[in-house]
Amino acid sequence: MNQKDIWQDRLKDVRINPSRNLWFKIENRLDTDIRNSRRTILGVAAAVVLMIVAYFAGIRSVASPEYTPMTLEINDQASEVPLPVEYQNPAIKELHYKKGGHLIPNARALWENPLVPKVN
């Protein structure tokens, strides 16, 4: 008999009783795990149902005549924005530069004297 066998033989029958409430502790943990897994399953199921409902609600709203998609014609010249009429008035200089206590840009002045970068 080698040393390993001697030790194994001597200690194979060692039994120590754990405290009585250990089983209740295990039982509680198992119950909590079951509750948590049920909650997870319910959560996933609710999310799936919500997605299905949202999908069908979306299809219904797209199919509604109120929201028929239409194509708008865009003029080739649309990018040339004319100066608003009020700024074509020569009395433009008398326009207020302040409105409600805030400075507002003088559109005409900017139009006539565009800002240019200062080059030294």
Would you tell me which residues interact with other proteins (CB under 8 A)? 1, 3-4, 6-8, 10-11, 13-19, 22-23, 25-27, 29-30, 33-34
Residue 114's alpha-carbon distances to 20, 30, 100, 109, in angstroms, are 89, 76, 26, 8
When the beta carbons of 1 and 59 are compared against other proteins, the nearer one is 1
The closest alpha carbon to 105, from 88, 116, 92, 119, belongs to: 92
When the beta carbons of 7 and 111 are compared against other proteins, the nearer one is 7
Closest CB 58 distance from other proteins, rounded Å: 40
